[in-house]
Structure 1
Amino acid sequence: LCEPSRDLASLCAQITGDALLFSMFRRDAPPAPCPFKGPLTFSYTRGHGQCGVPASSVDSCTSDSRLLFKYQACPDVQGTESSVEEVECIGHWKEGSTRYFVGRLEGSRALTDEDRYRCFAWERAREAEDNIDYRMAQSGDATCNGVFSAYDGSKTLRIKKVGSYSGCEFPSWVSNHRRWHALDRGASYSLAHHNTTLRLHHSHNSRAQPTPPGITQDDSEDGTGERAKVNYGNTEARLVCSQQREATSSKVVLVTHLTTGCTSGYVCTVLYRRDGHIIEMQQGSRAIRAVDACNSL
């Protein structure tokens, strides 16, 4: 059957408003900043009830384009299980009041592109919703079909911010100099984000103690700009002031939130002022809860 050719306008006019949308994701797309930052907690549902106890969590990685979702299982809720998903954000846009982003999933189950790409819809929670900061929905496949809002998806999340770091900063005898370096020149340290965040860069390739105790002042470079990060064995990390436990004119004990790659936790950090241009730093082991960080140091 021979059908006469039609112009583009007439062909496009035949596309109905409810026609299926085809999602196309560039496989080599560069990462993009994720829309929100951890630490956060959330409850979730796959359509069989809300799983909120124990709470699941989201942590930011040192790269602003990555988030780590830690799902907890609820014994009394069908379809829930303990799992970890690392999401790399690759793009975002907005339709009305709903914002979208596309992420690449990394994990043991992300074996193909169909497994790896997911579409997310999110929005800030309405003021009437108590104890929720964001709502988010995730697609069940590598398309945005069925994700019409933050309430509709294969999986939906109710997300809440965790505490606040406001009011906690590094002492003035640290922040008076924006950049410091270790006595052996194996690490450099700089402050950012209004003296609340410390970036540590470990330049040695060895996996020896990453934070030499002797630190001297170096104002040759500007410490402003990106968020503070640390490099432990070629992995960037950042140290954020969370709580001040003790402070004198020459010593401060802080609970800090340490992120190395996509691994994070709370670390007790003790700083000693030895001279106007020399400080020492001591750190404990990583703890899951802030309340446990300084118990053993």
Structure 2
Amino acid sequence: MVSLSFQSVGMDTLLRILLLSFNVWLSLAYHCTFPVEWRGTWYQSGVAQGKLQITKHSISQRGHCVNNVGTKYLLLDKSKECFVCLAFTPQHDNLLQFKESYCTRDENLANVCDRITGDDILHTIVKVPSVPVPCPFQGPYSFSYNNQTNRDCDSPSSEIQECADSSKFIFKYKRCQHTPETRDQDMQFQCLATWFNGDFFLYGMFTGSGLTEQTQMYRCFMYSFYGSQGQMAMSADPTCQGIQSPRTGYLTMSLSRAVKWTPPSCSYSEFLSGSREWRDIAGKFRFVLDEDIEQFRIFRVGTRRGDNSALVSVRCMGVVEEIPDISDNTATWPSQTYSKDFITYTTNDSCVSRYQCLRLKKRGPAVVELMLGTPVNDQDRACNEWSFDNVHKYVILPMESRVVPCPLPGSYSYVDKMSDCRGEIEIGCSDSTIMAIKASCPSGHHTVELFQCNQNWTEHPTGAQYIITSKPGDTVQKVSDCLVYKESIDGFELVAEEECGGGNLRMMKKPIGVIIQPSRQACKTTDRRVQPQPSTNPHTRAEGEGHTNDVRGGRDNRGYSGNNHNTIPKVDTKDITIINTANRRTCSRCIALLCVLVTLLSSLR
């Protein structure tokens, strides 16, 4: 009897091992896998090192995926030789919630998952690292708070301070006079997930002095806003447990907007409605508008789209003054040059907010001048007469602006203002959108610079012709600049205008500045077409560098002093293609004749 008992126990163990192995084989055979977007590292409070790894077939510290129906997964815990059900609720790309059953020997998914009840703990896990998301509310608020005491801490009032980065704001808690355990504390909060399941939720991470553990940083909020008022309740730990309503939780806050926003009529639509994204012609900054065109954020070029780390946000508060340009009746495009001053509420990347005067001036159908005045704390002083003293002016274009035909087409001779070089300027000769500047110097150096025209306008009453140009093939950096054709004491000049765009366009390593002969001639390039070929690597010198004859059509021939701009790339003369259609026809006839001869020879054989 004893031997039979031991034999029975051994058989049960063997069968259990075989059953477990069979279930693992089934999971692989039937592709029980977790969604691709779930795979990676997650933070969960209360587990070892706070980390949870989700792979294609398993979850660390939970088990191997055996079967699933929808978002309910049956996992095999090999160490305990039992099965557990995890019922997931995906709330956001950065956040999952789930409930789990007890571990059981039952391998039936429905049976195991039915053991989960509404009273079971709702676990919250957040992706590490998470891609921050825009916070669901913007703008400064004052608030009172109650951390489960009998009285609200409302004197002095605490503050929520917005940041230029739309995914961040700062809680500025004030020490409450009648609550000794409170203290002054500034904590930055970054929004990581928002969702709605009958109530509005926000999940994110605090950073600040005294916060060293992840269990102190991650928090969940339930919130509601109505007009300029709001209520928020915060969880006591990194889960969303214990929040019953926006008024009931571990810590509750009553919020009131600190700055009154203007009605939707205050917008930049007259100037910036043509595009949601603009760029300055120097290629340094992006200007991104919100959907209502009431606010824009300035990003440094190179910042990824979707990255919220703006340098400054500019919110429209009201129109101060419209400045008509009554002298512009003879403009090349009718009656569109005008300016407006706006009072704006700006916030920089250090989360400091001020009032600034914004001046927008429309220069052309898709050209806008933008100036931000001196920051002040008083809204009424934002647009004083000294607001624009010593401030920078940006000339901006739509990010995807197209080339246009160049003005003043024809061929001109010129003399360089700063050297003994001279040459010709051909505008719209090889291509209506291309300007070619040919130089010849006593030293024997010859060069041709190619520029394409992006926009142009006439300045009145001076009559100066402004031409925004860029290097052909520049589809990455999108760097442009201003050339100005104007009358001077020496005759007519074509110069790179520093005030308009920085004067970064270069001719033989020097800013463009030439005196033009007033007589315009017909284009000389009548039997060929100059076609600039964009280089696949704009920062690599072409083979012809150092030769006395070169043609430059590269993107970055601009003489920047910063990194990657000290070397002036040159394009070899092979980048000038001469098209001779007669040769093509002759070649085609030769091939046809050759084919006939081959056919005849074959028939003779």
Instruction: State the TM-score, normalized to the length of structure 2.
Output: 0.37
Partner of 2:163: 61
Partner of 2:153: 51
Which of 212, 224, 236 aligns to 2:311? It is 236
Higher relative contact order (CA 8 A, sep 6+): 1
SS at match of 1:151: coil
**More divergent stretch after superposition (134-143 vs 72-81):** 72-81
Partner of 2:247: 151
Letter in 2 for 1:163: K
Which of 122, 129, 135 aligns to 2:231? It is 135
Partner of 1:281: 371
1:42 aligned onto 2:143: yes
2:317, 2:234 → 1: CA distance? 31
The answer as to whether partners of 1:67 and 1:262 remain within 8 angstroms in 2 is no
The C-alpha deviation readout for 1:209-230, integer Å capped at 9, x for no partner, is xxxxxxxxxxxxxxxx99xx9x
The answer as to whether partners of 1:71 and 1:84 remain within 8 angstroms in 2 is yes
The answer as to whether partners of 1:267 and 1:283 remain within 8 angstroms in 2 is no
The answer as to whether partners of 1:186 and 1:202 remain within 8 angstroms in 2 is yes
1:22 aligned onto 2:22: no
> What root-mean-square deviation, in Å, do the aligned CA atoms of Structure 1 and Structure 2 show?
3.8
Partner of 1:164: 261
Partner of 2:539: none
Cα distance change on mapping 1:121 and 1:5 into 2, 3 Å: same
Shift of 1:46: 1.1
The answer as to whether partners of 2:346 and 2:356 remain within 8 angstroms in 1 is no
Shift of 1:88: 1.7
Letter in 2 for 1:33: P
Partner of 2:193: 91
**Which structure has more helix as a fraction of its residues?**
2
The answer as to whether partners of 1:92 and 1:102 remain within 8 angstroms in 2 is yes
Letter in 2 for 1:57: E
2:228, 2:203 → 1: CA distance? 22
2:225, 2:372 → 1: CA distance? 39
The answer as to whether partners of 1:132 and 1:158 remain within 8 angstroms in 2 is no
Partner of 1:259: 347
Cα distance change on mapping 1:285 and 1:113 into 2, 3 Å: same
Q: Can you give the 5+ residue segments of structure 2 that lack an aligned partner in the other structure?
A: 1-11, 13-81, 83-103, 326-338, 388-605
Partner of 1:248: 323
The answer as to whether partners of 1:117 and 1:142 remain within 8 angstroms in 2 is yes
Instruction: Name the count of aligned residue pairs.
Output: 262
Letter in 1 for 2:206: L
2:113, 2:278 → 1: CA distance? 62
Partner of 1:5: 105
Letter in 2 for 1:94: F
Cα distance change on mapping 1:175 and 1:158 into 2, 3 Å: same
The answer as to whether partners of 1:267 and 1:294 remain within 8 angstroms in 2 is no
The answer as to whether partners of 2:229 and 2:255 remain within 8 angstroms in 1 is yes
2:115, 2:301 → 1: CA distance? 61
SS at match of 1:114: helix
Cα distance change on mapping 1:272 and 1:120 into 2, 3 Å: closer
Which of 292, 295, 306 aligns to 1:197? It is 295
2:152, 2:133 → 1: CA distance? 30
Shift of 1:147: 1.4
Shift of 1:284: 0.9
The answer as to whether partners of 1:43 and 1:50 remain within 8 angstroms in 2 is yes
Partner of 1:209: none
SS at match of 1:248: strand
The answer as to whether partners of 1:59 and 1:262 remain within 8 angstroms in 2 is no
Shift of 1:156: 0.5
Q: Can you give the 5+ residue segments of structure 1 that lack an aligned partner in the other structure?
A: 126-130, 205-224
Letter in 2 for 1:99: F
Query: In terms of Rg, which structure is larger?
Result: 2
2:204, 2:155 → 1: CA distance? 26
Instruction: State the TM-score, normalized to the length of structure 1.
Output: 0.70
Q: Percent identity?
A: 23
